[in-house]
Chain A
Amino acid sequence: MDVKDFDSGELSEMLAFVSDLASSAGQIIADAIRAKKLVTNKSQRDFVTDTDEKCEVIILDALKEKYPTHKFIGEEETAKAGVLPDLTDEPTWFCDPLDGTTNFVHGFPFVCVSIGLTLKKQPVLGVVHSPILEETFTAAKGLGALRNGSRISTSGETQMMRSLVITELGPDRSPSTLDTWMGRYRSVAERCRSMRGIGSCAIGMASVACGRADAMYEVGFGGPWDCVAGAALVTEAGGCVFDPSGKPFSVMCRRVACSASPALEWALAEALAPNSSNPSEPEYFAL
């Protein structure tokens, strides 16, 4: 059975609903970051906080009630099941109630709520709400991308040498992953204007969408919930979203790259090519 596309009215309504949820969750984050936080260890470098859990409850309960036929893929359920569910063509929500938990525990301002929706396995809607930096990025298919209500677009930059590139270090610290990461970093840093690292995949992608950075790449982040909203933002802002290997973006792989222009996509993929993968990182697979 063919899954029906959403019309622009439906997308606008979903966007408004989700923006409100993101804002409520954002308030919890902002309040907590100013107070002492309770942290429980999940693994050596990835932390679950009780704020994360509170925000997830707010967002998921409301979404599940409003859209009972939609699917949901999120961090906590995936952790409990031990495996990522398969992605179908059905509308599927990807929520990261607190992207940037390391930043959060340090009071480092780059934290956000990231809520994205796929349809037919493609991102069609995204909200990235950054409560400390007081910015909300929204996008829906055919409706463009906005920052605090104003239209945004990528920088359009085509030259690597004039580009600001964002990348992040994921939770994996195995020697082979670190070697590959350093190889990529060296290769891109030698070709671009400057490198940045802020610790939030979603905010990094939003930065490309609004033209503050020209490209971004990350391999091995926590889960697809980190990049679906960002992918919708960049696409609607006129940019390119792709796999760091240069192949088409595939939502569930935990690998993403984005750029201000097709020319920069090509240049970035070329720079990343010699270090495109290693066995301890998530592999590319088409959906």
Chain B
Amino acid sequence: MSAFCAGVRVQGSRPLGSTGLTRRARSGLSHRRRSSLRCCLPEESSAVLEVVIRAAEDAASHMMNRVGAEVEKTKINSRDLLTEVDPECQEIIEKHMRSEFPDHGILGEETTPSGRENSVNALERALKEEWLWIVDPIDGTTNFVHSQPMSAVSIGVTYKGELVLGVIVDPYRSETFAAMKGQGTTLNGEPVTVSNEQTAEEALVAAGSPTATDSLHAVIRGLAVMMPEVRSMRMLGSAAVMYGWVACGRLTAYWEPDLHSWDSAAGAILVTEAGGRITDLHGNDYTVRTRSLLASNLWTHEPLRALLLRAEVHNL
């Protein structure tokens, strides 16, 4: 067992101190500690995280300078947009990766043919890589095109198929979210945790604004079932931002009927490392293959998941 792995398991070395945390967040941390005992993070994980943060921040600066870019073309339908800036941001990230870790693989939205089936197949092929960066260079392209300052760079990294770290950079609010397995989640270097709502009635829940027609109808079904039961609903148009805001407690939960791996990889680890939970709609723990999902502050997970099942949001 490497010194790094031993460090991950030592209680005192955690970035999140035990004082000031709620009982619930500590419980979430205990759950993660047990998980981290079963995983062994490779030694270079910290070095990878540093490069991923640099790459994401670099791409995010470029994105912010180009906000309001013209739509180049549409993908699966007229709602699914692509600008020239999306591949530019992906290229910036790839350059960082190739320069520091030339043996790593990348799965990026901009180099994957559009559509659900292509996405699933590309992920299966890519997961053969030992280290894999799963990248959405501009998450929230519709917002980006409309000069709505709500898009982010999202990079999740797997090692032998398991998510080990994630970074989301929101340049409009200068916020960098980062998480590494067993190390907690930080926002601009400060530890953050999910929020404290205990019940669906207290929950502020975010939903997606999907482009695919069947997903849109699934969201409508989900909204209809959720709205009477939760405090309120929000739709921001960027999965990465919504995941980040669940992780730092601004949102209680966020759900989607169908997301690509690059939409969720970073967000999933941010949420779990912040004491939250992310599962498919049957309650199975998230893997990078999960497409229908619910991310929450842990306490509201089961009541919200029950509502989504009732609405049959998962049947895609």
Chain A residues with CB under 8 Å of chain B are 45, 102-103, 106-109, 133, 155, 161, 164, 169, 173, 175, 178, 181-182, 185-186, 189-190, 193-199, 207, 211-214
How far is the CB of A184 from the nearest CB of chain B, in Å?
11
Chain B residues with CB under 8 Å of chain A are 78-79, 142-143, 146-149, 173, 195, 204, 209, 211, 216, 220, 223-224, 227-228, 231-237, 245, 249-252
Which residues of A have CB within 8 Å of B148?
A: 164, 196, 207, 212-213
Pick the residue among B146, B173, B234, B250 that contacts A198 (CB under 8 A).
B234
Closest to B78 in A: A161
**A102-B204, A108-B251, A212-B147 known; A190 and B216 CB under 8 Å?**
yes
A189 and B216 contact, CB distance less than 8 A: yes
A211 and B147 contact, CB distance less than 8 A: yes
Pick the residue among B146, B224, B236, B249 that contacts A107 (CB under 8 A).
B249
B146 and A164 contact, CB distance less than 8 A: yes
Closest to A110 in B: B234
B231 and A155 contact, CB distance less than 8 A: no
A102 and B147 contact, CB distance less than 8 A: no
**A164-B148, A169-B233 known; A194 and B142 CB under 8 Å?**
yes
How far is the CB of A160 from the nearest CB of chain B, in Å?
12
How far is the CB of A108 from the nearest CB of chain B, in Å?
5
Q: How many A-B residue pairs have CB under 8 A?
A: 82
How far is the CB of B59 from the nearest CB of chain A, in Å?
22
Pick the residue among A109, A164, A182, A214 that contacts B220 (CB under 8 A).
A182
A196 and B209 contact, CB distance less than 8 A: yes
Which residues of B have CB within 8 Å of A45?
A: 231-232
Closest to B67 in A: A212
Closest to A173 in B: B228
Which residues of B have CB within 8 Å of A181?
A: 227
Which residues of B have CB within 8 Å of A108?
A: 204, 234, 245, 250-251
Pick the residue among B204, B220, B250, B251 that contacts A186 (CB under 8 A).
B220
Alpha-carbon gap, A207 to B237, bound state (A) = 14
A169 and B232 contact, CB distance less than 8 A: yes
| Supplied contacts A161-B78, A178-B224, A212-B146, 14 more A-B pairs, CB within 8 Å | A102-B204, A102-B232, A106-B252, A108-B204, A133-B173, A164-B142, A182-B224, A193-B78, A197-B234, A199-B234, A207-B148, A211-B146, A212-B149, A213-B148
How far is the CB of A37 from the nearest CB of chain B, in Å?
13
B251 and A106 contact, CB distance less than 8 A: yes
Which residues of B have CB within 8 Å of A199?
A: 232, 234
